[in-house]
Each structure stands twice: as C-alpha cells, then as structure tokens.
C-alpha cells in the first residue's frame, strides 16, 4: 500500500511539472504564453513599437526582413496567438514570390516540420482562385517539440498502463499498444505548436498574415 501511495505522489509531481513547464510555441524566442501586458513588454524589448487607434492595439517592427504589424491575441487573459501582418501590400506577382520564399525558409529551417508541400507555380492565378473559388493559400508547419519531454510523457503513460513484469517481456499486443501510445503523444505534442501563414487579399493587393499559436491556451469550449 505504501509503495502505491509513493508511486501516485511521484506521478502527481511529474504531471505538475508538465503543467508548469509546457513546451509551447515560441516567437523570436519568446514563449507565446502569459498575459497580454507581459507579452507586449517582451515584444517592445525586441524592438517593436506599440500603436493604438481607438480600441485597437498592435505593435510595429521588423520581422524576417519585413515591416510588420503584430497583434497579441488572448483567451481567458492568456496569450494564445501572435499574429503578424505585412505592413505593405504588393501585387500578385510579388506575393507569389514572397510566399514561395517563406515556404523555402521554413522548409530549410530545422526548427520546423512542414505538413505538406506548398510552393506556388508561376501559372497559379491566385486572384481568380481566391475570388471565384474562395481558395485559401496557406502553409502549415509545426515547431519541433521537446523530444525529451515526449519521451518522459511516453514512459509515464506506459508505466501507468503496464507493470514492470509485463514490460520486461512484452507481448506483441503490448508492443503495438506502446507504439500507438508513442505515436499519439508525439502527434499531440506536434499539434500544440503550429506556425502558419497565408495570403490575404485586400482591394486588389496582397499581403502575408502569419500566426504563431499556442494551442494549450486556445479556446476549447471551456466557456460554453
């Protein structure tokens, strides 16, 4: 009985540690987390300048060689998204070039995993496709998670489900279940750190809107 209680305490400590040190999306090395005020101060420290028009607040600065407007989005007073919008709009030819450059930069950055291939061809008529077919031009990535954190979570999940004796000489069924547990935890960790961008059309011109999301803080129906 004493051994069981000690094991339960150890697991509670582990889960508490995970809750306090979630592996969240980062923007310019800053965790997309905390309060709006805290995030605003951190962005100012990175060189962004706060702006305001009536009730709308944002920051302006340079990101990845482009002048952008940065918007801090919260849920229940916790930051869950940093949205960036190009300050200057361009024509169709230029936006395709900018989109493809970003795709190449993300694909060649080891901190990100692409979810698909996104390069636009020269023949792509984005004006027609967006206007007539409401096509969305977007590219989705995931920031690499903390793999040590994944391994720890997998070990905890496995030890919760199986005894040391079962794990010493696992059956094929247990081996398959362990693989399924590993896949699920890995997928869940990747899905919590999305970074994506899309082409936005405005009065015949275009700009890129980019999103750094922390899915841990995203609304999931808790207020319903």
SS (H, E, C) 28-71: CCEECCCCHHHHHHHHHHCCCEEEEECCEEEEEEEECCEEEEEE
Q: What is the pLDDT along the chain (224 residues), one digit of tens a residue?
A: 444 333 333 444 344 444 445 789 999 999 999 999 999 999 999 999 999 999 999 999 999 999 999 999 999 999 999 999 999 999 999 999 999 999 999 999 999 999 899 999 999 999 999 999 999 999 999 999 888 888 889 999 999 988 888 888 889 998 999 999 999 998 888 899 999 999 999 999 999 999 999 999 998 777 76
pLDDT of residue 146: 83
CA atoms within 13 A on the CB side of 90: 17
Distance CA 63, CA 208 (A): 12
pLDDT of residue 5: 37
pLDDT of residue 224: 65
Alpha carbon dihedral 89, 28, 74, 134, in 10-degree steps, equals 40
Coil/strand/helix, residue 161: helix
Distance CA 148, CA 153 (A): 9
Write out the E strands in 127-190.
Answer: 138-143
Sign of the dihedral defined by the CA atoms of residues 128, 129, 133, 134, in that order: negative
Write out the E strands in the chain.
Answer: 26-27, 30-31, 49-53, 56-63, 66-75, 78-86, 112-114, 138-143, 194-202, 205-213
Other beta carbons within 10 angstroms of residue 210's beta carbon come to: 21
Distance CA 195, CA 208 (A): 13
Q: Which residues pair with 207 in a beta bridge?
A: 200
The pair of structure tokens assigned to 66 is 């482009």
């Amino acid at each position: 009985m004493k051994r069981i209680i000690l094991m339960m305490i150890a697991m509670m400590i582990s889960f508490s540690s995970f809750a306090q040190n979630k592996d969240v999306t980062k923007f310019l090395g800053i965790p997309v987390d905390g309060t709006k005020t805290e995030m605003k101060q951190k962005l100012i420290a990175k060189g962004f300048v706060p702006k305001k028009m009536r009730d709308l607040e944002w920051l302006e600065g340079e990101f990845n060689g482009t002048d952008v407007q940065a918007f801090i989005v919260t849920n229940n007073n916790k930051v869950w998204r940093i949205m960036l919008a190009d300050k200057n709009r361009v024509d169709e030819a230029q936006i395709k070039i900018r989109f493809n450059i970003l795709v190449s930069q993300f694909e060649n950055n080891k901190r990100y995993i692409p979810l698909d291939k996104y390069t636009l061809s020269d023949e792509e008529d984005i004006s027609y496709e967006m206007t007539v077919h409401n096509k969305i031009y977007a590219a989705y990535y995931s920031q690499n998670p903390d793999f040590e954190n994944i391994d720890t979570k997998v070990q905890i999940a496995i030890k919760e489900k199986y005894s040391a004796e079962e794990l010493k000489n696992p059956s094929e069924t247990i081996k398959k279940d362990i693989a399924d547990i590993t896949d699920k935890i890995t997928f869940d960790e990747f899905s919590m750190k999305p970074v994506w961008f899309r082409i936005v059309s405005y009065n015949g011109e275009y700009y890129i809107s980019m999103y750094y999301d922390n899915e841990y803080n995203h609304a999931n129906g808790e207020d319903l």
